[in-house]
Amino acid sequence: MRDNFWLKQKLDSVWNSYFPEVNRLNNIEVFFGKRAKRRLASIRQKAHNDKKSDTQIRVTGFYKDERVPEFVVETTLAHEICHYVHGFASPLPQFSRFPHRGDMVDKELEKRGVGDQLKEQKAWLEKNWNNIVGDAIFIPGTVRRKRKKAPAYISVLRTFGII
């Protein structure tokens, strides 16, 4: 069963296999978040402007589905660890201003021996991801709510150039 404990074990395994020389300078929490279709994972500091605060890695809840191969989850975790290594959401010095500039993460994964797995992950996602997320379309909480319409008087004000 895939739960947060399983995810923590995966994180430790990926870290020990591909990033053994990188020290964890703060506590790193990893957990499943909501079932996001486009954002597979994200990394952030628990306290926004405190580089020493805990790091949180949130992984899409769709990864709980056992149809998603473990290598897809592992590659996603390796991607987030790259951000940590590059100083994003970690106490380490930040490499650059933008985390994905110049395919920095993919190059790091390639350098660490995850390149083939990354290619497999991208191919698997391209072929199968819509089937995984498509099964959840009618489950409450996965469909975006519609925006509320502006009151009628706003459109009148816009028509006359008042706003």
Instruction: Residue 28: give the domain boundaries.
Output: 4-159
CATH code for the domain of 88: 3.30.2010.10
17-32 pLDDT, tens per residue? 999 999 888 889 999 9
On average, the pLDDT of the chain sits at 85
Q: Examine the pLDDT at 142 and tell me if it is beyond 60.
A: no
Quick check: 84 and 28 in contact, CB under 8 A? yes
Residues 80, 74: contact at Cβ < 8 Å?
Answer: no
CA atoms within 13 A of residue 71's CA, in its CB half-sphere: 12
pLDDT in tens, 109-141: 889 998 899 999 999 999 998 888 886 655 555
Q: What is the pLDDT of residue 10?
A: 94
- Exposed, middle or buried, 44 (CB in 10 Å: 0-12/13-18/19+)? middle
The most confident of 32-36, 49-53, 118-122, by mean pLDDT: 118-122
Count of domains observed in the chain: 1
Instruction: Determine the pLDDT at residue 38.
Output: 85
What percentage of the chain exceeds 90 in pLDDT?
40
